[in-house]
């Protein structure tokens, strides 16, 4: 076993420590010097010597050995090598990776009920109130669309217009799946010997976390390294009635009653996706937005998505904000909102869903007890290679400042961190070229730079934009609107026309973009893309057929399907 495997992280020696030369030095074990800090630890060292063979058999962290100034330290002062606050995407990925490298790991996870009282199991946002239930509801909406199309392909159905969603059945199916995932995660943690505490954690000091259980019992846990992976929760506006009557994405996937006529406040990706599936399920949906929709993403493509949603019946109210919500006698919600000219408007809804952004749960950690600094405006954590300003405290996932808030980002960063802490790895997380998809009815997938960002960074003269509209074969028979199916490539004009960004609006956008994201990682160029043979007839092949640049002024509308 290599000595490097035993390194948790460099740390100052414990005061009063005595360096000890291990008499059991051997070829296979490089831990030739061990320092013990206290008499208790010395006793422990004696037994350690006696069990030296065992030490060799158990590769690292039994006891954890820490390298400092070229020497190794036996450290018995902490219960865990890694204590993780937050059992979501990032925390669980780090936990599983770390135990695989023989670290002693504990995870604390606790869900504070939403203002409506919704709560859920282990696994974090993605599993319970994020990606997974969202994708299932999106799928339910797509199936509804498919039922209507099926008749045009010859399926003999009862009048498709009479086909309706049963919210109760949908919600139950989605929640059953979520609960099965909660169960699998718990079993996996138990099998892998990750200790799990259903407790709300906060710092006592930089190495100590107090976990408070639902019953109010306190658990004091110490660890050499602490990982913050607490994610965030939806924000509510400070207006009358918001907390009493509003809901958020935390509630919608388990809502006991059908949402009915819904007002969504906020046009970020969560607002748009919820609007998309609710509209697809047959509910009347309105979005109120104050600012530009999805700033940061390619605006041409975002506008196509919005146009498509409007065409499908989602109402958009721009530059407006809600003022108050009151409950009428019939139980419905009367919403007042104010437009950009200060004029007040009103309408009645069955559901008001806030999607105005998320607040990270770092204040609750009592970061000051550990000396941990937060970014003042957002409460997020600024970290270099996931290491915070406190050297033994790390952070991954949504809590990180200026990092994409996506599950695979949290997972990847968590895994790489565990490998650096407990394995030999030096690999760090690359936060560039992260692909993502907006699961709007007509999906938008992208990777890399938007047209706006590329121009801002490199200058208009240095950027070539390729674009094309296309007709998915499967849209012809049901005569679906193809006007907004569009692909776009952002490339450099020099450097062999290296591709900086790829954008796709159309069916299965996530599936399409995933492969191209790998190609961009490999340094994809326009000539390489043009020499790639497409798979026909697919929508992804449109990227291999693209040749019209914006600069040329040629019409990017499709001429035929197979030329």
User: What is d(CA 212, CA 262) in angstroms, rounded to the nearest whole number?
Assistant: 37
Window 200 to 239, contacts with ligand FAD (CB under 6 A): 200-201, 229-231
CB of 516 vs ligand FAD, minimal distance in Å: 17
To the question of whether residue 371 is assigned a binding role by annotation, the answer is no
Collapsed DSSP state (helix, strand, coil) of residue 511:
helix
Q: Does 144 bind ligand FAD (CB under 6 A)?
A: no
Cα–Cα distances in angstroms (integers) from residue 159 to residues 121, 151, 156, 211, in the given order: 40, 9, 9, 56
To the question of whether residue 201 is assigned a binding role by annotation, the answer is yes
Please give the radius of gyration of the chain, using alpha carbons only, rounded to the nearest integer: 27
From 287-295, 306-314, 406-414, 459-467, span contacting ligand FAD (CB under 6 A)? 406-414
Query: In b/e form, how buried is each residue of 21-30, taking b as 16+ CB within 10 angstroms?
Result: ebebeeeebb
Among 225, 407, 450, 497, binds ligand FAD (CB under 6 A): 407
Size of site (CB under 6 A) for ligand FAD:
35
Q: Does 275 bind ligand FAD (CB under 6 A)?
A: no
Known active-site residue 536: yes
If the CB atoms of residues 74 and 281 are measured against ligand FAD, the closer one turns out to be: 281
If the CB atoms of residues 270 and 540 are measured against ligand FAD, the closer one turns out to be: 270
Q: Does 109 bind ligand FAD (CB under 6 A)?
A: yes
Q: Which two tokens stand for residue 124?
A: 């974090």
E strand intervals along 175-301: 195-197, 199-205, 208-213, 218-228, 232-234, 247-248, 262-265, 285-289
Q: Which of 177, 202, 412, 536 is catalytic?
A: 536
To the question of whether residue 270 is assigned a binding role by annotation, the answer is yes
Rounded to whole angstroms, the maximal C-alpha distance in the chain is 84
To the question of whether residue 267 is assigned a binding role by annotation, the answer is yes
To the question of whether residue 415 is assigned a binding role by annotation, the answer is no
Q: Does 529 bind ligand FAD (CB under 6 A)?
A: no
3-state helix, strand, coil in the chain (%, to 5): 35, 25, 40
Among 102, 114, 125, 254, binds ligand FAD (CB under 6 A): 125
Half-sphere exposure for 18 (CA within 13 Å, toward CB): 10
If the CB atoms of residues 278 and 491 are measured against ligand FAD, the closer one turns out to be: 278
E strand intervals along 218-377: 218-228, 232-234, 247-248, 262-265, 285-289, 315-318, 321-327, 333-338, 344-349, 351-354, 358-360
Q: Does 503 bind ligand FAD (CB under 6 A)?
A: no
28 CB-near residues (< 8 Å, 6+ apart): 1, 56
CB of 192 vs ligand FAD, minimal distance in Å: 18
CB of 493 vs ligand FAD, minimal distance in Å: 32
Q: Does 297 bind ligand FAD (CB under 6 A)?
A: no
If the CB atoms of residues 71 and 110 are measured against ligand FAD, the closer one turns out to be: 110
For ligand FAD, the binding residues (CB under 6 A) are 85-91, 108-111, 124-126, 129-131, 134, 200-201, 229-231, 249, 270, 361, 364-365, 397-398, 405-408, 410
- Catalytic positions, please? 536
């Amino acid at each position: 076993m290599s000595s490097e495997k035993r390194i948790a992280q460099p740390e100052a020696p414990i005061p009063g420590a005595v360096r000890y030369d291990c008499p059991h030095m051997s070829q296979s074990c490089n831990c030739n010097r061990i320092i013990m800090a206290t008499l208790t630890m010395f006793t422990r060292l004696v037994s350690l010597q006696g069990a030296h063979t065992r030490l060799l058999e158990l590769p690292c962290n039994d006891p954890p050995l820490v390298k400092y100034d070229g020497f190794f330290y036996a450290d018995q002062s902490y219960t865990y090598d890694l204590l993780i606050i937050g059992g979501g995407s990032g925390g669980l990925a780090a936990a599983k990776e770390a135990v695989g490298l023989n670290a002693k790991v504990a995870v604390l996870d606790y869900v504070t009920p939403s203002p409506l009282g919704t709560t859920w199991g282990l696994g974090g946002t993605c599993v319970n109130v994020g990606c997974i239930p969202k994708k299932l509801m999106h799928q339910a909406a797509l199936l509804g669309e498919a039922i209507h199309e099926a008749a045009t392909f010859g399926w003999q159905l009862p009048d498709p217009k009479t086909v309706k969603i049963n919210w109760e059945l949908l919600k139950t199916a989605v929640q059953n799946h979520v609960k099965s995932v909660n169960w699998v995660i718990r079993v996996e943690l138990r099998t892998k010997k990750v200790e799990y505490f259903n407790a709300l954690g906060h710092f006592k000091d930089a190495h100590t976390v107090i976990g408070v259980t639902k019953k109010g019992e306190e658990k004091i846990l110490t660890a050499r390294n602490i990982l913050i992976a607490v994610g965030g929760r939806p924000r509510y506006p400070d207006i009358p009635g918001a907390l009493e009557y509003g809901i958020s994405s935390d509630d919608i996937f388990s809502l006991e009653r059908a949402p009915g006529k819904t007002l969504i406040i906020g046009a970020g990706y969560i607002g748009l996706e919820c609007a998309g599936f609710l509209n697809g399920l047959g509910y009347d949906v309105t979005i109120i937005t104050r600012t530009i929709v999805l700033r940061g993403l390619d605006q041409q493509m975002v506008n196509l998505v919005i146009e498509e949603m409007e065409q499908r019946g989602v109402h958009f109210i721009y530059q407006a904000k809600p003022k108050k919500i009151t409950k009428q006698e019939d139980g419905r919600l009367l919403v007042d909102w104010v437009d950009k000219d200060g004029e007040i408007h009103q309408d009645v809804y069955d559901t008001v869903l806030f999607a105005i952004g998320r607040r990270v749960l770092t204040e609750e950690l009592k970061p000051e007890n550990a000396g941990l600094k937060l970014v003042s405006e957002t409460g997020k954590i600024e970290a270099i290679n996931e290491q915070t300003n406190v050297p033994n405290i790390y952070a991954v996932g949504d809590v990180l400042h200026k990092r994409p808030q996506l599950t695979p980002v949290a997972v990847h960063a968590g895994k790489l961190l565990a490998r650096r802490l407990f394995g030999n790895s030096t690999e760090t997380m690359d936060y560039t070229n992260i692909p993502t998809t907006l699961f709007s009815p007509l999906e938008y997938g992208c990777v890399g730079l938007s047209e706006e960002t590329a121009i801002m960074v490199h200058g208009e003269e240095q950027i070539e934009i390729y674009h094309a509209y296309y007709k998915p074969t499967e849209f012809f028979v049901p005569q679906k609107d193809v006007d907004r199916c569009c692909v776009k490539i952002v490339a450099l004009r020099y450097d062999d026309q290296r591709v900086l960004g790829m954008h796709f609006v159309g069916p299965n956008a996530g599936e399409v973009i995933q492969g191209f994201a790998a190609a961009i990682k490999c340094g994809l160029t326009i000539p390489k893309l043009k020499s790639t043979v497409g798979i026909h007839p697919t929508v992804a092949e449109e990227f291999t057929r693209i040749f019209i640049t914006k600069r040329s002024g040629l019409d990017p509308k499709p001429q035929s399907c197979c030329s």
